[in-house]
Amino acid sequence: MKAIRIADDVWWVGAIDWNARHFHGHTYTTKRGTTYNAYLIVDEKITLVDAVYGPFTDEMIQRIRTVIPVEKIDAIIANHIEPDHSGAYPELLKLCPNAKLYGSARAGQGLERYYHQKFDFTPVKTGDKLSLGKKTLRFIEIPMIHWPDSMMTYLEEDQILFSNDAFGQHYATNERFDDEVPWEILMEEAAKYYANILWPFSHLIAKKLVELAEMNLPIRMIATSHGVSWRKEPRKIITAYERWAANVTDPKIVIVYETMWGSTAKMARKIAEGVAASGVKYEIHDIAATDRTEVIYDMFSAKGYIVGSSNHDSGMLPNMVSFMEFLKGLHPKNRIGCAFGSYGWSGIAIKKLEETLKESGVEIVQPALSVVYAPDEAQLAACHEFGRKIAEFVKAV
């Protein structure tokens, strides 16, 4: 477990979590694992930028020891207090008890709440600088991107932006840089990360990107806290974030449904045929059989959403309930959609689907379509027409 040099006297000393399959509880499926990136700056003041998730503390310490004795750490920059970055602090601080922590004021409060111990903590704010000797750190708060405490740190002399969660990916790999991994996989994981974690904060991200541009900081490298860092053309991931934060979409429809006895599934397939007949691309997912993280990734680029469920008790089927609640939390903007489904004696599921779509911020462009028990030929034809119509809406915007 060695440190990896990323610039003069700057080292990656993080950990690779090859087997992580879930993140944020079970809200995010990390099929490619993840990394927790920490960075060591060796200067007069020996400084660690971020740390790793608690179970990976030993791996980080081993890597640090290949550069300096860990006991020599003078300063720790806490860009973000979420446990995947701060979990190592209590054990680490037993080895370097005199190390001072720096972070946003909210980080100081949050760390005490998490770890129930006092830290030698100095709050910093945007524009504050910390001299390490030859090198200088400059802090940039990014509140609610994606926690109130979140911050980025810029290393002036090396033009490295330690961006914490921003620009990251859940991608376990031995490589540390964008030019060492397949570009398609990297961008897929970066977009998936944005879609499943950062999407609700797009309005703040858009503003922060403008603010960052106005700072005119030359950025040679963006060193993230998850996945690989961007050194080839850091501008490319910033441009991608600008597009994602603006909720730019492709003329594509995603159909998501859950079915009890196959009627809603039949409707979904016929709706998809109608969409395809209009020449609009679609993806179709049975949410009971498909990973939610991947579905959200597909929806992230799509203009149209069609959601369906059979009725169950007094609402939707349970996987669809969970999915719709998750979607609502993401607040997709600039999307159109509609609902459909089958029922026996109460069509409440379809009403709830439509209501939840509206609450998510999706514009309902045509009335919901429902069928009692199983669709007959005429109703299947209506499903085809239903798909065709929403495809026309997608083409028109």
Comparing CA positions, the residue from 177, 162, 126, 379 lying closest to residue 264 is: 379
Q: Does 354 bind ligand FEO (CB under 6 A)?
A: no
The answer to whether the beta carbons of residues 70 and 61 sit under 8 Å apart is: yes
Which amino acid type is present at position 338?
A: C
Q: Compute the least distance from the CB of residue 34 to ligand FEO, in Å.
A: 8
Q: Does 80 bind ligand FEO (CB under 6 A)?
A: yes
Crossing angle of helices 318-330 and 292-300, in 10° steps, is 40
Q: Compute the least distance from the CB of residue 205 to ligand FEO, in Å.
A: 14
Q: Which is nearer to ligand FEO, 85 or 231 (CB)?
A: 85
Tell me the three state secondary structure of residue 189.
Answer: helix
Comparing CA positions, the residue from 49, 12, 24, 292 lying closest to residue 170 is: 24
The answer to whether the beta carbons of residues 111 and 85 sit under 8 Å apart is: no
Q: Compute the least distance from the CB of residue 334 to ligand FEO, in Å.
A: 25
Residues known to be catalytic: 24, 80, 82, 84, 146, 165, 193, 226
Which amino acid type is present at position 319?
A: N
The backbone torsions φ and ψ at residue 47, rounded to the nearest 5 degrees and listed phi first, read: -130, 135
- Stretch binding ligand FEO (CB under 6 A), from 77-85, 172-180, 200-208, 320-328: 77-85
Q: Does 82 bind ligand FEO (CB under 6 A)?
A: yes
* Residue 160-199 contact track with ligand FEO, rule CB under 6 A, x = bound: -----x----------------------------------
Residues 144-163 that bind ligand FEO (CB under 6 A): 146-147
The backbone torsions φ and ψ at residue 243, rounded to the nearest 5 degrees and listed phi first, read: -70, -45
Q: Which is nearer to ligand FEO, 146 or 231 (CB)?
A: 146
The answer to whether the beta carbons of residues 303 and 251 sit under 8 Å apart is: yes
Provide the strand spans (E) within 73-218.
Answer: 75-77, 100-103, 121-123, 129-131, 136-141, 151-155, 160-164
The answer to whether the beta carbons of residues 310 and 263 sit under 8 Å apart is: yes
Tokens encoding 208: 């922060």
Q: State the pairing for strand pair 281-286/250-258.
A: parallel
Q: Does 259 bind ligand FEO (CB under 6 A)?
A: no
- Stretch binding ligand FEO (CB under 6 A), from 78-86, 127-135, 247-255, 380-388: 78-86
* Residue 212-231 contact track with ligand FEO, rule CB under 6 A, x = bound: -------------xx-----
- Stretch binding ligand FEO (CB under 6 A), from 82-90, 135-143, 276-284, 345-353: 82-90
Q: Compute the least distance from the CB of residue 146 to ligand FEO, in Å.
A: 6
- Stretch binding ligand FEO (CB under 6 A), from 76-84, 305-313, 331-339, 373-381: 76-84
User: What is the rounded distance in angstroms from the CA atom of residue 150 to the CA atom of residue 153?
Assistant: 10
Q: Does 85 bind ligand FEO (CB under 6 A)?
A: yes
Residues that bind ligand FEO (CB under 6 A): 80, 82, 84-85, 146-147, 165, 225-226
